[in-house]
Amino acid sequence: MTHDKTTPILTFRDLPSVNSLLDESAIHLLVEVYGRETVLTEVRHVLQETRSDLQNGNSDLTSIVFLIQQISQNLVEKFQLSLRPVINATGVILHTNLGRAPLSEAALEAVQQVAGSYSNLEFDLETGTRGKRQQHIEDLVSEVIGAEAAMVVNNNAAGVMLTLSALASGQEAVISRGQLVEIGGGFRMPDVMLQSGVKLVEVGTTNRTRLADYERAIRSETTILMQVHPSNFRMIGFTESVPLSELATLAHQHNLLCIDDLGSGALLDTAIYGLEHEPTVQESLAAGADVVLFSGDKLLGGPQAGIIVGKRAVLDRLKKHPLARTLRVDKMTIAALAATLDHYRRGNATTHIPIWSMIAMPLPQLRQIAEHWVALFGGFIVDGESVVGGGSLPGHTLPTALYVVPVASATQGQIALRDYNIPIIARVTENQLVLDPRTILPSQIEIVTAALRQLLN
CA nearest neighbour of 442 among 374, 379, 361: 361
How long, in residues, is the chain?
457
pLDDT of 57 > 80? The answer is: no
Instruction: Give the C-alpha separation, 140 to 150, whole Å.
Output: 9
On the question of pLDDT at 58 being above 80, the answer is no
Ordered by where they begin, the domains of the chain are 12-79 (no CATH), 87-95+355-456 (3.90.1150.180), 103-352 (3.40.640.10)
User: Residue 254 pLDDT > 70, yes or no?
Assistant: yes
* Rg from Cα positions in the chain: 28
3-state secondary structure of 183: coil
CA distance to 338, 373, 412, 421, 447, per residue, from 77 (Å): 36, 30, 21, 11, 20
End-to-end CA distance of the chain: 38
428-454: average pLDDT = 96
Q: What is the mean pLDDT of residues 381-397?
A: 85
Question: Confidence band (pLDDT; 50, 70, 90) for 240?
Answer: confident
Return the minimum-mean-pLDDT range out of 47-61, 178-192, 266-280, 346-360.
178-192
DSSP 333-362: HHHHHHHHHHHHHHT-HHHHSHHHHHHH--
How confident is the model at residue 125, as a pLDDT? 94
> 3-state DSSP call for residue 132?
coil
Cα–Cα dist 166/293, whole Å: 14
Report the C-alpha gap between 333 and 293 in whole angstroms. 17
Tell me the C-alpha distance between 357 and 350, whole Å: 5
